[in-house]
Amino acid sequence: MQPTATVLVYSDDSNTREQVRLAAGRRPAPDAPLVEFLECATPAAALKELDRGGIDVCVFDGESSPMGGMGLCRQVKDEVFNCPPVLVLIGRPQDAWLATWSRAEAAVTLPVDPVEFAAALASLLREKRALSAQ
């Protein structure tokens, strides 16, 4: 049986959540695990799922409202024990410094480019698997 990774996607925009799902597909790379998506439209729902545990990677929309994904990322990095890696979606390449401030492990621009997004997600999944094996 193939291992499955759980990817938490936070965005108030259902179209953005759909872009993420379509860009990653069932497996973002041949050597990455199959992925299941857990979608959240509010920061409270995302925090509840993170508290529940079992999340391998988070994808946060930096353009979300009322709380942007970068602010949420910084919060969870401070508050969630063994916080999973976070990939933030940023509005413009110039916002990469904000992604660094948020302590996200990766950032890609919106609209989601399937090749760039899948590569970034697969990289985080590989890193998570390598850390879990130690």
CA dihedral 53, 111, 4, 127 (to 10 degrees): -80
pTM listed for this prediction: 0.95
CATH number, position 110: 3.40.50.2300
Specify whether the CB–CB gap between 110 and 63 falls below 8 A. Answer: yes
Token readout for 15 is 């179209």
Q: For all residues of the chain together, what is the average pLDDT?
A: 94
Pair type for strands 86-90 and 57-61: parallel
Residues near 41 by beta carbon (within 8 Å), at least 6 away in sequence:
10, 11, 12, 14, 17
- Condensed to tens digits (0 to 9), the pLDDT of residues 23-73 reads 999 999 999 999 999 999 999 999 999 999 999 999 999 999 999 999 999
Q: Give me the mean pLDDT over the 101-121 stretch.
A: 97
In the prediction, which pLDDT does 61 show?
A: 98
Give the residue numbers spanning the domain of 49.
4-133
Average pLDDT over residues 98-111: 96
pLDDT of 22-32, one tens digit each?
Answer: 999 999 999 99
Q: Per the structure, how many domains does the chain have?
A: 1
